[in-house]
Structure 1
Amino acid sequence: MSLLPTTPEIVLIASPDGPITAYDPYTGAVLARFSGSQCPRNGITVISNNQFACSHVSDTGVGYIHLYNWWSRSCVQSIHLPEPVAPLVATNDGSYIFSGGVSGHIQSVLVPSGDLIRSVSAHEKPVSCIVISCDESLVISGSDDGTIAIIPILLLLDVSLDPESGCSSFTRFTGHELSVTGLTTGMGVMISSSLDWTCKVWNIVKGTHLQTVKFQGEMMCSVLDPSETQLYAGGMDGTIYRKDLKVETRKQVASGGEVVVWGRKHDAAVVAMDMLNYGQSLLTVSENGQIHVWEAEGATEVAEMEEAFKAAVEDRGRVTSNLESAIEIHKKLMELMLKEANAIAEFEESIRKQMNI
């Protein structure tokens, strides 16, 4: 998520059983609710200032991407895909969406037409997470098979290639012993989290391993602070960790350095987190719907939002795989609606002037 200097954030929370909810993370107020989608984990992304998208798995198992406008509470466009998909990510200009399928394929979709550009086999098991590098040159995905794929974005957008053909010109490697649960990127580096109790630091361009951070349990997500010197990570047991990545010696790098344990801040797995307020605050979301904002340095709770959804705990694996939290909005909801209304008014006024001429 990129932050503009004068832009407050909005938090979007979704689940397979409830509505998509937009929150003000500083007051905890509910700004809007959107219905009509059963959204799996990592299945929501912002397309532009006017739209966001979420993956939707129907009761029949058919895969869709649903598009929403901020001023409409229901889906305004449904894009059919060749298979069920979970994680989504979009380019900054909102022209393309990349989705990860249950077959291990990465699909590239043109917006707003919904045309499928390519479907590339990237993994042998379902894609669990997907991100775009900071310079938007690479699409990076993680899978339940423990592998990480780094694909040049131009290869996914090359319409001259067969949409269903394979793609050999990308890097794929085994990053973890167990499922890759999350990815976060910085300038030239990426962090992968996994159920193998680790987060790993990688060189994006070369795909080389730089550092392994070991934790006390299975890891679900991670995020870097704006300076990219602090790593925050969330565990399956609800524990939050902080790790200083700016170490001084090779010995410290090899050992992973000191990990600060904030403690068990949630009653269930921490499935999403992001930085707010220029890195001064950390937002965390758990699989049972708890949403908290913390002071990044002191781990003091700043705000708590209402539970967005209630998840059954009998099958924690199902809940974890279907719960989604994504925090990627640049402007407050009312500001977006006002901006759109002004743009429409200006357009209509220009048309009237042209007709008078």
Structure 2
Amino acid sequence: MLSEEFVSAICGPPLSSNTAIAKDVGIYCHTLSPTYSVKSQFKKSSVPVNCLAVSETHVFAAQHEKAYVHVYSKLRGNQEAFVAFPERIRCLTLAGDVLILGTTEGRIMLWETCTGRLVSTPPRHVQAVSCVVATPHRVLTGSDDSDIHVWSLSQLLELDSAVEHEPERSLPNHRAGITALSANSSASYDTNICVSASKDKTCIIWNYQTGDALRTLLFPSFPLCISLDPSSRAICVGCEDGSLYLVELFAEKPLLGPQSEDASTVVQVLSAFGATQPDVGPASCLSLSYDGTMLLTGHPKGQILKWDVADNKTPVQLANLNAAITNLVFVSPFPTERPTKPFNIIKPSQAERTYTFTAQLEADLSPETRFDSLLNSAGFSQEDLENAITAFQQPAAGSTSEQEQLQKQNEELWEIINEQKALQKTTLQRLAEAKSGQT
């Protein structure tokens, strides 16, 4: 059975003197299914909202109101590095092996964890970068100045140091600070959508590649956190008043797609999917499972709640961590096939100009031979069987030339035999003539 795991982070001191929960633990790795359990813990972290990123081998956690990032090794189960940056970190995310950080000064920094290369942009945001998300080819940053910038990931990682780092476009429709961003990983020009949440009580659905605002969703209270469904069919929104909303994009009256022409550009969202109790508080973070059937919410009072999206039943409390939950990140259950794995991270440096790529090889880089493919396959493949049958039905390659050579040798031997026979006949005739002459 496929297991589901997620990572949670807390920020701030313990809420009560509960001795059953360790006071110095800041990050928890949970197993959600088949049965819930806490898999591992990492100590000495206070992680604000949007400041946790998880890869297959490491956990990256920016610290509250500091210019530090703690790096933990999932393979060894301990803290691997303490990394200092020039500015305080407000948010971060991962794009492969590149850690992207947003700072309080309005700039973004990109750290190649396998080489130690650090790229920094000018402060293109007027205020702090509050959230950042990465897609296969783009980086999106939201700021307290209410603007969203779309960057090209390849241009940000350009090796030419003289390149001026500018965003491809800006999305300026909001009128207050951006609180959350969520984007899909589509590579199609028409389906590159993202959702932004703002303190102006709206969420806007964008085509971030064209810069078009597709729909504006109005809420009774300003949204704190959002999450796109894995198949980009719905949006989950947690608001300040404790309400949770599930907005379907392709319902009877679709908001997107060719059948959405009659839909209004501004949509008022009133019916809530669920609501939390006042003693729990509003959801400060939320995350959808990879099949889109389960929603996890983290709350300021320390609770992690599990919601069933399909049945819409009363939520189940998974854990109470005795501190404000600020981040929930699902770990992908699908293994990625990559030739390398970063076993150890390389600390960032702007002083160096030459870098060494450091990683662990995960696969044989030599091409696979036919013998290897036959050795690793179960039985004989259909192609090999058909080739063998065809080879039996046809004469072997080069058999015609061999027959001609044998025939030629036979002819030469027969010529020699005939010559010997003629010579023998001549000798016998001369012998008979000699005998008759003597008599």
TM class by shorter chain equals: 0.7 to 0.9
Please name the residue that 1:138 is paired with.
138
Compute the TM-score of the two structures, normalised by the length of structure 1: 0.79
Structure whose CA Rg is larger:
2
Please name the residue that 1:176 is paired with.
174
Task: Tell me if the contact between 2:183 and 2:193 (Cα under 8 Å) persists in the aligned partners.
Answer: yes
Residue 34 in structure 1 maps to residue 34 in structure 2: no
State the secondary structure of the residue aligned to 2:263.
helix
Please name the residue that 1:126 is paired with.
128
Task: Tell me if the contact between 2:150 and 2:167 (Cα under 8 Å) persists in the aligned partners.
Answer: no
AA matched with 2:180: G
Structure 1's 258 and 81: CA in aligned 2 closer, same or farther, altered over 3 A?
A: closer
Please name the residue that 2:152 is paired with.
152
Structure 1's 7 and 284: CA in aligned 2 closer, same or farther, altered over 3 A?
A: same
Give unpaired runs (5+ residues) of structure 2.
Answer: 13-24, 187-191, 335-340, 344-359, 364-439
- Once the two structures are superposed, residues 198-225 of structure 1 have per-residue CA deviations (whole angstroms, 9 ceiling, x without a partner) of 1110001012111001111010111222
Task: Tell me if the contact between 1:178 and 1:195 (Cα under 8 Å) persists in the aligned partners.
Answer: yes
Instruction: Give identity over the alignment, percent.
Output: 22
Task: Tell me if the contact between 2:47 and 2:61 (Cα under 8 Å) persists in the aligned partners.
Answer: yes
Give unpaired runs (5+ residues) of structure 1.
Answer: 1-5, 312-322, 333-338, 348-357
Match of 1:14 among 6, 9, 15: 9
Please name the residue that 1:354 is paired with.
none
Task: Tell me if the contact between 1:45 and 1:328 (Cα under 8 Å) persists in the aligned partners.
Answer: no
- Once the two structures are superposed, residues 12-39 of structure 1 have per-residue CA deviations (whole angstroms, 9 ceiling, x without a partner) of 1112335111122344421111012222
Please name the residue that 1:281 is paired with.
294
Structure 1's 240 and 169: CA in aligned 2 closer, same or farther, altered over 3 A?
A: closer
Structure 1's 16 and 169: CA in aligned 2 closer, same or farther, altered over 3 A?
A: closer
Task: Tell me if the contact between 2:10 and 2:323 (Cα under 8 Å) persists in the aligned partners.
Answer: no
More strand by share: 1
CA displacement at 1:331 relative to structure 2 = 4.8
Aligned mates of 1:39, 1:174 — CA distance in 2 = 29
- Once the two structures are superposed, residues 102-139 of structure 1 have per-residue CA deviations (whole angstroms, 9 ceiling, x without a partner) of 00110000104443123342311111111012xx1100
CA displacement at 1:287 relative to structure 2 = 2.6
CA displacement at 1:154 relative to structure 2 = 1.3
Please name the residue that 1:161 is paired with.
161
Match of 1:88 among 88, 92, 95: 92
Please name the residue that 1:25 is paired with.
32
Aligned mates of 2:76, 2:322 — CA distance in 1 = 21
Alignment of 1:1-357 (within 5 A): 7-17=2-12, 18-26=25-33, 27-47=35-55, 49-57=56-64, 62-92=66-96, 95-133=97-135, 136-161=136-161, 167-186=165-184, 187=186, 188-246=192-250, 247=254, 248-256=259-267, 259-266=270-277, 267-276=280-289, 278-301=291-314, 303-311=316-324, 324-331=326-333
Structure 1's 181 and 293: CA in aligned 2 closer, same or farther, altered over 3 A?
A: same
Compute the TM-score of the two structures, normalised by the length of structure 2: 0.65
Aligned mates of 1:120, 1:328 — CA distance in 2 = 32
Aligned mates of 2:76, 2:241 — CA distance in 1 = 37
Structure 1's 15 and 119: CA in aligned 2 closer, same or farther, altered over 3 A?
A: farther
